[in-house]
Structure 1
Amino acid sequence: MSQSLIVFSPSGDIHYQFNNKVIPFNDLIASLVNQTATEVDTNFFTCSANQKRFYCYKKNDKYAASYFDSVTTIDNEKIKQTLSDVLKTYFKLVDDLDPEGQIHVHDKLKTLIDYQFNQLTKLQQIHADDSGTSTPKAVVSSTSASKKAPASSKKKMRKWVDGEMVETTDHSALDFSTGNIDDSFQADSELLKVDVNAFKKENDLVLVNELNDIIGTSDDEDEDETDEAGTKSGFLSKFTSYFGSSINIDEVSKQFHEQLISKNVAPQTARQILDRIKNQLKGKSVTLANFKKALVDELTKTLSPNVSTDLLYDIKAKANRGRPYVISVVGVNGVGKSTNLAKLAYWFLQNDLDVLICACDTFRSGAVEQLKVHVNNLKALNANMNSNAKIDIFEKGYGGGDHVVATAKAAIQYGATEKFDVILIDTAGRTHSNAKLMAPLKKFGDAANPDKIIMVGEALVGTDSVEQATNFNNAFGNKRNLDFFIISKVDTVGDLMGTMINMVMATNVPILFMGTGQTYTDIKRLNVKTIVDNLMR
């Protein structure tokens, strides 16, 4: 594993370097010039090329950049802070240009910058060691634990009894360790309500319908409608004088920037989109109509990356190969991974595919039981469809990191033996900014080697969606990325659909489905035109 750092200017001059591996930075510079690098935060960029992950921070007219040969397990914020500190040190201590145009670097400058960067690379090594050598703690049932712990040390819990909150020390209700799992979970009648019109049949395949309207549209009236006095009001009224005539691109860009941000598009993402348009139209006489068309085209292109989302055809094309089609579902805590995994399972059952759900969220108490409820619901629904497809759950209880990997491997082997078509692997939710929690994803991905990795992201998360998407996309190493997004809770945000633009633009990963509710048919395919029209409204 090696790391490199350079300080350079837009002209290509290198003013400082740590390590002598400078040539790989050409990939970063090309990405910056072509505007394909992801702007994670203001003036903070990242990209990957040739099995390297690059990071770059800009201040004034200089850039500080670094890359890592192996998968990066350092928080983006720590990398950004280090690169920012490097530039601060550089600007504080560097001499003026000498007559030959060369910058003299103090020994003190070299010592400080090298120290700052070495501290960062030590974090990389520490996290790698932690993720590779940690030993999972044994699961201890509440019964055995109570024998060792004095009564006074028991943590008090609270629960509702007859409308009042009371304290209790009874942990048995929350003991979901391996030896205490009950298989007799009943189906949830509320979740058994399905919409028979949620799918359509096409060429012997059952497909999810598109989202053709915006669920829970904004309470505000249409911004571009005419008021009682007959005057055009709202967003486009700001541009009345521009119709049919040349516009001030900077002024109009500023107004559209505010418009996109009002729809939950991250400021840096909105700026990237509009900067691309300004570059396209540079030197031309531009009308508002030209600008709007360019923006619509750019948003449409962003939501339509050149990646096939036809998952069913891919599954059927790889059938009978001796290994089930494996899909892993990842995401931060609470976004609805298990629920959307169950929606995928119901869709696969509609297409007569045998589904095995693997419980690899072995950290959160109740996660296995939650999946069992879903499986029982799906079995009940499947019976009503008179389908020959089967669904089951594979679980080995609760445990640490190695237990997750062992469970995934065992599930794939079991699925192959029992001739399942698809295995859906649930995973534990994890904070995207916690490098130590994110690091095990690479080990899991290498062991399970899923055919597809799907990240579930919330529609309501807003600007943080950029870093969430970027960190999960990078978590599986330089040779593997996310394949799809499922955007959950779309029914909660009205017309604020900017999160979709944020996540796709940050990663170039397409959106497979959107979650629009709690039942198994509350799922829609992306209609790009509907989303773009909404963002422009």
Structure 2
Amino acid sequence: MLEQLLIFTRGGLILWTYKELGNALRGSPIDTLIRSCLLEERSGAASYNYDVPGAAYTLKWTFHNDLGLVFVAVYQKILHLLYVDELLAMVKREFSEIYYPKKTVYNEFDDIFQQLRKEAEARAEDIKKSKQVGKPVNNNLGKKQGQLQNGGTDGGNKKKGGGESGKDGGDGDKVKGNAKENGHSNGRTGNGVVQVNCKENGNSTDGAFDVNKLQKLRAKGGKKVDTVVNKGSKAEPTKKIKKNRVWDDSPKESKLDFTDPMSENGSENIAVVAAVEGESMMDKEEIVSSDSETEEDEEPGKDNKVEAKKKGWFSSMFQSIAGKANLEKADLEPALKALKDRLMTKNVAEEIAEKLCESVATSLEGKKLGSFTRISSTVQVAMEEALVRILTPKRSIDILRDVHAAKEQGKPYVVVFVGVNGVGKSTNLAKVAYWLLQHNINVMMAACDTFRSGAVEQLRTHARRLRIPIFEKGYEKDPAIVAKEAIQETNRNGSDVVLVDTAGRMQDNEPLMRALSKLIYVNSPDLILFVGEALVGNDAVDQLSKFNQKLGDLSPSPDPRLIDGILLTKFDTIDDKVGAALSMVYISGAPVMFVGCGQSYTDLKKLNVKSIVKTLLK
């Protein structure tokens, strides 16, 4: 049963809607589709599933890009309606004929829609019945295969060689047996497939599908290879005997725990170290060169070589002068393929590049190409707009403003740093602490990495250099409890922000992911930052998607917390391979809030969206 069908403009103006009488949609599936799919350049997908307590919907859509219209159908996920795609195409065709840009009410379309719906339902019902009745298709397929394998038969032999079950199987076996006795003949099996059996030089094969003989031949071949190898190796080289390592006689430490027991209650006297000087790059505006000319403008034929080869120079030149009536998918494929390859060379995950190209193709298909405009330049502009929309944060996350708001409420602002092993969580946590200190915000570190040896000492070194307090309990402690006690400690030392350092963990390590989910559930942090490397490519998709999935699945809360933002590290080591930023934002929907670009405390900056887009399309 179709729940709702909606027609609206790209600007959000609803022109016409259909609702099933007596059925009200639960939640807001249309708004979620626009926010999570259409605006995130996922419109190339076939459908979108929307789940709420008590209901689950499937949404399908289509565009009329020339008129700027969107057609969305909503139905129950369990129904699997077969006629929705066809109905949307029919509605799109009929509504575009009566559409007028200045008109906002289309009550006359009600009767047209009812007729279109009946036609689509009747056609789907006919297809369903034909599938249920038309089961003998397999027998015809067997007959055709028999004819093709036998080189063609006349009408009288079709039934005999058709491979019908239970009739010709015995004859096929007889023929096969005769073929063995004669030594060289052809035999027809029950499936209508001719098997050629030959005896040459005493070696016999019973056909391509004789598994037993195939295994024997493989076994014989393996033995021969072994004997040849053994003959070829005359003398084995003498193995060098490794001498035993002599260790010193110093007594072994019982544990690799060098934390000061006096610091367990948070009362450690921090040694004063020379403060780091310099302004953080977070507060500096990055200047991007305003070169409006792209490589495509400098070399007109570079991105259009495939298209020129396909259609010829005169055809492509004529289209750029006269314009094309409506763009088709075949017209866009050469330019999109070149863009996909370019994105992948910039370290964008293949899956993300493919989805982006599909979304751009969906947004351009059917659109009229203007005069003196090339298809490749049109696709380039559409991709650039799509990348800017993806990388631009959908919601404002101003940490300084949120810190002051939490301070007015009398509670600390808690930030949890999570990520895989070795990406630089502790170092970049110290960079964030340094940036906050420059804005006169009191910061405290919480050493909740109780798993890796040396993690507490590393964080304590940063705290001493920055002259800020650190809360630690040593190793082999529950990180959720350590974080909770650290937040309670802020009431005593007057800290405004608590930066929680967690252990690095792979996304497939369920015990550690369960501990992280518990830490987030117990302490309810204000911000969850995923720390990832700018060096990763396809692995960025797997890391972020599985982190979010595990945090959602392992959380005892019905409304689990997921990743709020991304801190991208080692950004100064990748040159123009900036695709990891795009992959991470696309797969998670979380913005890149910080970019680590060096080894000092000042090397932390914001992500420049225009610079990233320009680099990706360069």
- TM class, shorter-chain normalised? 0.5 to 0.7
Aligned to 2:528: 453
Tell whether the 8 Å contact from 2:40 to 2:389 is kept in structure 1 after alignment.
no
1:168-183 matches, cutoff 5 A? 171-172=252-253, 175-176=256-257
1:359-398 matches, cutoff 5 A? 359-379=447-467, 391-398=468-475
Distance 1:358 1:288, change over 3 A: same
1:4-403 matches, cutoff 5 A? 35=37, 49-50=51-52, 99=129, 101=131, 171-172=252-253, 175-176=256-257, 196-199=278-281, 207-212=282-287, 244=320, 248-286=331-369, 287-379=375-467, 391-400=468-477, 403=478
Tell whether the 8 Å contact from 1:497 to 1:531 is kept in structure 2 after alignment.
yes
Tell whether the 8 Å contact from 2:437 to 2:443 is kept in structure 1 after alignment.
yes
Equivalent position SS for 1:487 = strand
Distance 1:370 1:294, change over 3 A: same
Selected match of 1:428 from 467, 490, 503: 503
Q: Which has the higher contact order (CA 8 A, sep 6+)?
A: 1
Distance 1:485 1:265, change over 3 A: same
Matched, 1:533 2:614: yes
Give per-residue Cα distances to partners, 1:278-305, cap 9 Å, x unaligned.
0011112442222111100000001013
Q: Given residue 536 of structure 1, which amino acid in structure 2 is its aligned partner?
A: L
Q: Given residue 253 of structure 2, which amino acid in structure 1 is its aligned partner?
A: S
Tell whether the 8 Å contact from 1:39 to 1:45 is kept in structure 2 after alignment.
no
- What is the total number of aligned residue pairs between the two structures? 382
Q: How far apart, in 2, do the equivalents of 1:428 and 1:47 lie?
A: 34
Shift of 1:178: 5.5
Shift of 1:251: 1.1
Tell whether the 8 Å contact from 1:38 to 1:46 is kept in structure 2 after alignment.
no
Q: How far apart, in 2, do the equivalents of 1:198 and 1:271 lie?
A: 37
Matched, 1:479 2:560: yes
Q: Given residue 292 of structure 1, which amino acid in structure 2 is its aligned partner?
A: Q
Q: How far apart, in 1, do the equivalents of 2:363 and 2:440 lie?
A: 48
Aligned to 1:8: none
Distance 1:347 1:237, change over 3 A: farther
Q: How far apart, in 2, do the equivalents of 1:284 and 1:345 lie?
A: 50
Shift of 1:322: 2.5
Give per-residue Cα distances to partners, 1:498-533, cap 9 Å, x unaligned.
000000000110010100011100111011000000
Tell whether the 8 Å contact from 1:188 to 1:373 is kept in structure 2 after alignment.
no
Q: How far apart, in 2, do the equivalents of 1:489 and 1:47 lie?
A: 36
Q: Which runs of 5+ in 1 are unaligned?
A: 1-22, 57-64, 67-96, 105-164, 200-206, 215-221, 380-390
Equivalent position SS for 2:395 = coil
Distance 1:492 1:315, change over 3 A: same
TM-score normalised by structure 1 residue count = 0.61
Equivalent position SS for 1:475 = helix
Distance 1:186 1:489, change over 3 A: farther
Q: How far apart, in 2, do the equivalents of 1:254 and 1:350 lie?
A: 47
Shift of 1:50: 3.5
Tell whether the 8 Å contact from 2:445 to 2:498 is kept in structure 1 after alignment.
yes
Shift of 1:179: 6.6
Aligned to 2:121: none
Distance 1:188 1:531, change over 3 A: farther
Aligned to 1:507: 588
Equivalent position SS for 1:339 = helix
Distance 1:468 1:27, change over 3 A: farther
Q: How far apart, in 2, do the equivalents of 1:296 and 1:310 lie?
A: 26
Aligned to 2:575: 494
Matched, 1:412 2:487: yes
Q: Which has the larger radius of gyration?
A: 2
Shift of 1:337: 0.4
Shift of 1:460: 0.1
Q: Given residue 525 of structure 2, which amino acid in structure 1 is its aligned partner?
A: P
Q: How far apart, in 2, do the equivalents of 1:480 and 1:198 lie?
A: 30
Q: Given residue 366 of structure 2, which amino acid in structure 1 is its aligned partner?
A: G
Distance 1:225 1:511, change over 3 A: same
Q: How far apart, in 1, do the equivalents of 2:576 and 2:304 lie?
A: 17
Equivalent position SS for 2:469 = strand
Q: Give the CA RMSD over aligned residues.
A: 4.3
Give per-residue Cα distances to partners, 1:448-493, cap 9 Å, x unaligned.
1100100101000111101111122333334311111000000111
Equivalent position SS for 1:440 = helix
Tell whether the 8 Å contact from 1:38 to 1:47 is kept in structure 2 after alignment.
no
Matched, 1:522 2:603: yes
Q: Which runs of 5+ in 2 are unaligned?
A: 1-24, 59-76, 79-126, 135-244, 370-374, 553-558
Q: How far apart, in 2, do the equivalents of 1:45 and 1:172 lie?
A: 60
Q: How far apart, in 1, do the equivalents of 2:425 and 2:474 lie?
A: 18
Tell whether the 8 Å contact from 1:441 to 1:475 is kept in structure 2 after alignment.
no
Shift of 1:36: 6.5
Tell whether the 8 Å contact from 1:514 to 1:523 is kept in structure 2 after alignment.
yes
Give per-residue Cα distances to partners, 1:105-153, cap 9 Å, x unaligned.
xxxxxxxxxxxxxxxxxxxxxxxxxxxxxxxxxxxxxxxxxxxxxxxxx
Shift of 1:319: 1.2
